[in-house]
């Protein structure tokens, strides 16, 4: 089966596949789908479909740069392309691999309160177990031992240790090539986040406050895209979180506190959950 070449044309002139100018590296459940979908509405930004997982999965990485390029969307001359693969943030080999391929890439990291992220990650796992009729422990059972200790080896916990992962990225990339955005702000005021992203990516200003409207049924913002289309994320985004005991919440908050402090200081951010 022949694959499309690097250059194709349509009625609007030449379209090419190019390496992404920007990559959304994570974090899983931070709001990565929301930010890439909103950015895809921008006339100077084109998003790759789905999650590419080139740099984090060895079997994809071994297929080489041309394989990666074929996963990129056809883009016009005055547009940049962007991809997102949320597990890039936590896989140790990724920063050096990206650096080797595109040292001037602009990285976007969406992070939210690590306790909420952990619950969100669990909620997604639980939904998948429900579909497969697998046993479904409660959140408290899933992350706490019978002795009231946190199960620190659980992935839902480890992914939330932002400082541990971020430290690795800073060994490969200067801090000014990474924009760290607050996922909680993205959910409550997407416009304010997108303005910062436009500046960071140096694309013409496009987003306006009026493009975003709160959908009461969904409990999240939806937005008006190109051609006046209405866009909301699907039902797998914005799931209802389970009840969690106060004791578990307190233990998680104490556990994450030093990691939050270290991350916010390294990233030079003062989000609502940093203190």
Q: By CB under 6 A, is residue 125 in contact with ligand A3P?
A: no
Judge whether 19 and 49 are in contact, CB under 8 Å.
no
> Angle at the Cα of 118 (from 112 to 120), degrees rounded to 5?
80
- Taking residues 47 to 76 in sequence order and writing x for each that binds ligand A3P by CB under 6 A, - otherwise, the string is ------------------------------
240 annotated as ligand-binding = yes
Helix, strand, coil percentages (3-state) for the chain, rounded to 5, are: 45, 20, 35
Q: By CB under 6 A, is residue 101 in contact with ligand A3P?
A: no
Helix (H, G, I), strand (E, B) or coil at 59: helix
Which of 34, 39, 90, 211 contacts ligand A3P by CB under 6 A? 34
> Which is catalytic among the residues 29, 33, 84, 106?
29
Instruction: From 55-63, 126-134, 135-143, 237-245, give the range in contact with ligand A3P by CB under 6 A.
Output: 237-245
Assess whether the previous peptide bond of 148 is cis (omega < 30° from 0). no
Please state, in angstroms and rounded to a whole number, the distance separating the CA atoms of residues 158 and 248: 16
Residue 29 is among the residues annotated as catalytic for this protein = yes
Q: By CB under 6 A, is residue 128 in contact with ligand A3P?
A: no
Which of 187, 244, 249, 266 contacts ligand A3P by CB under 6 A? 187
> Angle at the Cα of 206 (from 222 to 34), degrees rounded to 5?
30
Alpha helices in 19-85 (DSSP H): 32-40, 58-61, 65-71
Q: By CB under 6 A, is residue 165 in contact with ligand A3P?
A: no
Identify the helix (H) or strand (E) that includes residue 239: none
We find the least distance from the C-beta atom of residue 75 to ligand A3P, in angstroms, to be: 23
Residues within the annotated binding site? 112, 120, 221, 237-241
> Which residues of the chain form contacts with ligand A3P (CB under 6 A)?
28-34, 86, 120, 123, 186-187, 220-221, 233, 237-239
Active site residues per annotation: 29
């Amino acid at each position: 089966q022949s694959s499309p070449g690097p250059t194709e044309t349509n009625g609007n002139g030449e379209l090419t596949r190019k390496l992404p100018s920007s990559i959304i590296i994570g974090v899983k459940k931070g709001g990565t789908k929301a930010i890439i979908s909103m950015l895809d509405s921008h006339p100077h930004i084109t998003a790759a479909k789905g999650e590419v997982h080139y740099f984090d999965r060895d079997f994809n990485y071994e297929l080489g740069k041309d394989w990666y390029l074929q996963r990129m969307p056809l883009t016009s001359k005055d547009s940049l392309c962007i991809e997102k693969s949320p597990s890039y943030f936590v896989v140790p080999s990724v920063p050096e691999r990206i650096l080797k391929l595109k040292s001037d890439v602009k990285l976007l990291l969406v992070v939210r309160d690590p306790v909420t992220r952990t619950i969100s990650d669990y909620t997604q796992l639980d939904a998948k177990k429900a579909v497969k009729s697998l046993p479904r422990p409660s959140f408290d059972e899933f992350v706490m031992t019978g002795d009231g200790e946190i199960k620190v080896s659980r992935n839902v916990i480890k992914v939330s240790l932002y400082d541990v992962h971020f430290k690795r990225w800073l060994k490969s990339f200067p801090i000014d090539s990474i924009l760290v955005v607050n996922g909680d702000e993205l959910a409550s005021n997407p416009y304010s986040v997108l303005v910062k992203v436009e500046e960071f990516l140096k694309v013409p200003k496009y987003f306006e406050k009026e493009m975003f409207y709160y959908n009461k049924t969904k409990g999240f913002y939806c937005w008006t895209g190109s051609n006046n289309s209405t866009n909301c994320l699907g039902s797998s985004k914005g799931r209802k979180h389970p009840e969690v005991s106060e004791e578990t919440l307190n233990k998680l908050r104490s556990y994450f506190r030093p990691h939050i402090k270290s991350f916010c200081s390294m990233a030079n951010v003062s989000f609502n959950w940093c203190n």
